[in-house]
């Protein structure tokens, strides 16, 4: 989950790396550090806490000018988040600097062997051992890339490594296994980073690195091999967004900007999804129509917010295709001996495309000969590359740790997948699909209306800033909305918040209701009359026990008015599409409440954007 940057070229290496780290701080903000190659040695600085602390350290103790640099912003795994454990880590001679993302699993054995050979470790991290291993390897060779390859062959686990050496000016070496690393190609300069946002200011030409590859960059050359030194194939791609997409643009928080971008991002995710005849077409559908017709079960696999998008997908896919659809937490999937075979379609959802739990679930599914389709927002990431087919969302970079626009784009992609399967299997006529697509294409305007009318939600957040517990209730597709609303509040405000299926209220959760506790209720559209009436009863039940009822309900539905302490009106939309409008007020509420409480909305405590370790 850490952020890594490497640079060689003609610019100030420190400026390039610090600029990149600021854009990657969403990946971890427990500490930060930089290392520069200068006159045959390494000059470095590192500091616990956010990058502002590192900025102050550099102002007090400036580093020399250098055009070769590496940097790191950390989400702690091995060792507490303090100055000593911050990256970069150096070898005993101080001439090799290493930054690392991931977990090295055979660290105990490696560390014991190094200490037995006389190496003294100054940190608690697994990363420092890599620097000492490189020190040993470089005793027998002057080839830094070969030394890195040799070390990588000794390591087990998931890792991205980026290395600089005082003995090798104008050279940075990187390596990856099960952890993200991309190359930026410039003119007279080249870049390494966990994410293209780190170098988007300088170049939009990128190179995908595959599994178990080592890359060496100099100002004029990029060389990629496997861990044994054999030339490796790479794939070039062009980043289709610019630096403005990764900047706040006048907003106080990235999250506020990303919430406001949702109408456009939903529209972009829908763009170009049908051909001249009106038939749906998806991005990289490398599965044939015959293969999709053979599917008799779908399993959606995801984590966190993406898991809730998968729950919405279940309702839509089963309704439109009549194929049984399960939704699994990726972290649990492969450990329960699931029933998966060649007639199973595994759909994975990941904003970053690097979520380790999801990636490992994909690999298990493919071992069982299942077909895998990924829904992802990040071109060039690992999960799409290891899938049989890809459906890209087009939400642009999401910098705030708590996902907002990513969630809505994923839900839209799930709808598209469901409709595509219904089309391939002949379960919906073209005019039926066109009608649903027309409904989907009205959603950006509906979301914009919710945004335009959101001031009462912000005021409500100010009123409820002293509350210690919040409950969220929903039925049908409103249930995943309730779960997502609760998660956003937990992530941003650090408060107790729970989402429940409203039908489960009397089976236990109602015990949590007491005088004044705020309860958000997502009311189904009137088209679901039977469920609608049951949710109406739930509102009355919690209100009778003293809850403050905050009711999200579509325009024109006044049946809830007598039982609602607060009303949040939603545009009238088809039932299955309601999550696209109902989720937005809950995002705004969580953001406003956290702001009122003085929390950092973009970088909540203990969290990082991309979970790249299991």
Active site residues: 2, 609
Question: 310: how many CB neighbours lie within 10 A of its CB?
Answer: 29
Query: Counting Cβ atoms within 10 Å, is residue 61 exposed (0-12), middle (13-18) or buried (19+)?
Result: exposed
| 68-74 and 3-8 strand pairing | antiparallel
Give me the sign of the Cα torsion angle 34, 38, 42, 45.
Answer: negative
CB 553 within 8 A of CB 569: yes
Residue 171 tokens, joined: 């050279």
Q: Where are the beta strands (DSSP E) in 142-227?
A: 157-165, 172-177, 182-185, 190-193, 205-208, 213-217, 222-226
Largest separation between any pair of C-alpha atoms in the chain: 81
The answer to whether the bond into 88 is cis (omega within 30° of 0) is yes
CB 9 within 8 A of CB 192: no
Residue 308, C-beta contacts closer than 8 angstroms, at least 6 positions apart: 407, 480, 481, 483, 484, 487
Question: 425: how many CB neighbours lie within 10 A of its CB?
Answer: 16
CA atoms of 89 and 46, how far apart (whole Å): 10
The string of DSSP codes covering 345-373 is EEEEEESSS--HHHHHHHHHHHHTT-EEE
**Would you put residue 254 in left (φ > 0), alpha (ψ -120 to 50) or beta?**
alpha
Query: Counting Cβ atoms within 10 Å, is residue 26 exposed (0-12), middle (13-18) or buried (19+)?
Result: buried
CA atoms of 503 and 216, how far apart (whole Å): 58
Rg (CA), the chain: 25
The torsion angle over the Cα atoms of residues 158, 164, 170 and 173, rounded to 10 degrees, is -20
Bridge partner list, 191: 7, 184
Tell me which residue of 405, 411, 376 sits closest to 265, measured CA to CA.
Answer: 405
Q: Phi/psi of residue 41, each to 5°? A: -140, 175
Q: Where are the beta strands (DSSP E) in 429-484?
A: 469-474
Residue 39, C-beta contacts closer than 8 angstroms, at least 6 positions apart: 64
Residue 2 tokens, joined: 């850490």
Residue 72 tokens, joined: 């790191």
Helix, coil or strand: residue 167: coil
| 222-226 and 190-193 strand pairing | unpaired
Helix, coil or strand: residue 481: helix
């Amino acid at each position: 989950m850490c952020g890594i940057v490497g640079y060689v070229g003609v610019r100030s290496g420190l400026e390039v790396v610090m600029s990149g780290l600021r854009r990657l701080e969403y990946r971890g903000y427990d500490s930060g550090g930089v290392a520069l190659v200068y006159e045959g040695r390494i000059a470095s600085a590192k500091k616990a806490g956010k990058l502002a602390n590192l900025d102050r350290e550099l102002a007090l103790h400036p580093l020399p000018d250098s055009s070769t640099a590496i940097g790191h912003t950390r989400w702690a795994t091995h060792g507490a988040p303090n100055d000593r454990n911050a990256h970069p880590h150096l070898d005993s001679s101080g001439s090799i600097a290493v930054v690392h993302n991931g977990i090295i699993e055979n660290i105990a054995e490696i560390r014991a062997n190094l200490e037995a050979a006389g190496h003294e470790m100054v940190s608690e991290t697994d990363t420092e051992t890599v620097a000492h291993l490189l020190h040993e390897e470089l005793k027998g060779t002057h080839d830094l890339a070969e030394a890195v390859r040799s070390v990588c062959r000794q390591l087990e686990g998931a890792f991205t490594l980026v290395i600089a050496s005082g003995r090798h000016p104008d050279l940075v070496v990187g390596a990856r296994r099960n952890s993200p690393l991309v190359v930026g190609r410039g003119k007279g300069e080249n870049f390494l980073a966990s994410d293209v946002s780190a170098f988007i200011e300088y170049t939009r030409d990128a190179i995908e690195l595959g599994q178990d590859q080592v890359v060496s960059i100099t100002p004029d050359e990029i060389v990629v091999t496997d861990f044994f030194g054999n030339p490796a194939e790479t794939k070039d791609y062009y980043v289709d967004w610019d630096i403005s997409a990764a900047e706040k643009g006048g907003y106080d928080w990235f999250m506020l900007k990303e919430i406001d971008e949702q109408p456009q991002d939903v529209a972009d995710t829908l763009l170009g999804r049908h051909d001249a005849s009106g038939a749906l077409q998806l991005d990289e559908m490398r599965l044939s129509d015959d293969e999709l017709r053979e599917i008799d079960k779908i399993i959606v696999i995801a984590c966190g917010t993406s898991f809730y998008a998968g729950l919405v997908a279940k309702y839509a896919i089963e309704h439109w295709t009549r194929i049984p659809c399960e939704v699994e937490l990726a972290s649990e999937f492969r450990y329960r001996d699931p029933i998966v075979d060649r007639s199973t379609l595994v759909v994975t959802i990941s904003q970053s495309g690097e979520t380790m739990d999801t990636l490992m679930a994909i690999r298990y599914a493919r071992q069982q000969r299942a077909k895998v389709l990924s829904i992802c927002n990040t071109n060039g990431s690992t999960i799409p590359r290891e899938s049989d087919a890809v459906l890209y969302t087009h939400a642009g970079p999401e910098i705030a740790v708590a996902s907002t626009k990513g969630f809505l784009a994923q839900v839209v992609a799930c709808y598209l997948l469901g409709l595509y399967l219904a089309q391939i299997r002949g379960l919906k006529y073209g005019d039926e699909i066109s009608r649903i697509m027309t409904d989907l294409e009205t959603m950006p305007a509906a979301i914009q209306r919710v945004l335009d009318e959101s001031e009462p939600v912000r005021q409500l957040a100010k009123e409820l800033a002293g509350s210690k517990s919040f409950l969220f209730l929903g039925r049908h597709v409103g249930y995943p909305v309730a779960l997502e609303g609760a998660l956003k509040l937990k992530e941003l405000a650090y408060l107790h918040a729970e989402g429940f299926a409203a039908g489960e209220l009397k089976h236990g959760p109602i015990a949590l209701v007491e005088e004044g506790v705020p309860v958000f209720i997502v009311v189904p559209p009137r088209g679901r009359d039977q469920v609608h009436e049951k949710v109406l009863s739930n509102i009355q039940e919690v209100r009778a026990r003293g809850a403050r009822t905050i009711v999200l309900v579509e325009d024109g539905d006044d049946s809830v008015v007598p039982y609602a302490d607060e009303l949040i009106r939603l545009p009238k939309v088809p039932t299955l599409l309601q999550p696209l409008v109902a989720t937005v007020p809950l995002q705004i509420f969580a953001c406003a409440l956290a702001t009122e409480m003085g929390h950092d909305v973009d970088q909540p405590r203990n969290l990082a954007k991309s979970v790249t370790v299991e």
